[in-house]
Amino acid sequence: MWPCVEKRLSQVYKNFDLKHQGKLGIRTNVCNCVLCAGENLALQGKASQSSLYSYLGDASHAIDGNRASAWTQASCSHTGPDFNAWWRLDLGKTHKVFSVTITNIKEASSRLNGAEIRIGDSLENNGNSNPRCAVISSIPGGFTQNFQCNGMDGRYVNIVIPGRTEYLHVCEVEVYGSRLD
Ligand SMILES: [Ca+2]
């Protein structure tokens, strides 16, 4: 079902068993860590957002493979001041998502505080009603943070700032997971 992950897991089991035979508890931790890995699915997806602040903030800039985090580098997405502002990644088909990595903008980084990562197959409410992977409490300006989603199934990965009017900008969104087929 997940050939890439299974291959990686079997290799870790093999390597780890050679060094630590019988220490199953530690082995489990190693496997959990490996489940975070995989290819960045976002690079093959399509991005959209609730509105466009300026051409410098196109939604696709959050999946251009570049974590550059200064606004003038034109590698961040940027909506206008929307109520429930959102950014959405369409993976084309349902995937199993293990983690999402987000790079925050250098300037005005606190705008992302309280944003939610939502993953699922529905476009109801622009995808913002899909199951929640995580709430972003805060990411310092220019920094990157990883959020574990533990194998949530979904075609859409949303970032939404619920309940207030705010600009939403993200400089890179990386989605690690596996295809389901
Ligand atoms: Ca970028």
Are residue 9 and residue 44 in the same domain, yes or no? no
Measured in Å, residue 24 CA sits from the centre of ligand 1 at 40
Tell me how far the alpha carbon of residue 44 lies from the centroid of ligand 1, in angstroms. Answer: 14
The verdict on 25 and 89 lying in the same domain is no
Distance 49 CA to ligand 1 centre (A): 15
Same domain, 13 and 76: no
Q: What is the pLDDT of residue 37?
A: 53
CATH number at residue 168: 2.60.120.260
Q: What does the block give as tokens for 116?
A: 């939610």
Give yes or no: residues 172 and 116 share one domain: yes
CB under 5 Å of ion ligand 1: residues: 64, 66, 75, 171-172
Q: What is the mean pLDDT of residues 38-65?
A: 97
C-alpha of residue 105 to centroid of ligand 1, in Å: 10
- CA angle, 123 as apex, 63 and 80 as ends, to 5°? 55
Q: How high is the pLDDT of residue 181?
A: 76
Q: Could you list the residue range(s) of the whole structural domain that residue 16 is in?
A: 3-34
- Ligand 1 centroid from CA 70, angstroms: 10
Q: Is it the case that residue 83 has pLDDT exceeding 60?
A: yes
Burial class (CB in 10 A: 0-12, 13-18, 19+), 37: middle
Percent of the chain, pLDDT > 90? 77
- Ligand 1 centroid, distance to 159 Cα (angstroms): 15
Mean pLDDT computed over 97-116? 98
Better pLDDT: 18 or 107: 107
pLDDT exceeds 50 at position 94? yes
For residue 100, the Cα-to-chain-centroid distance in whole angstroms is: 3
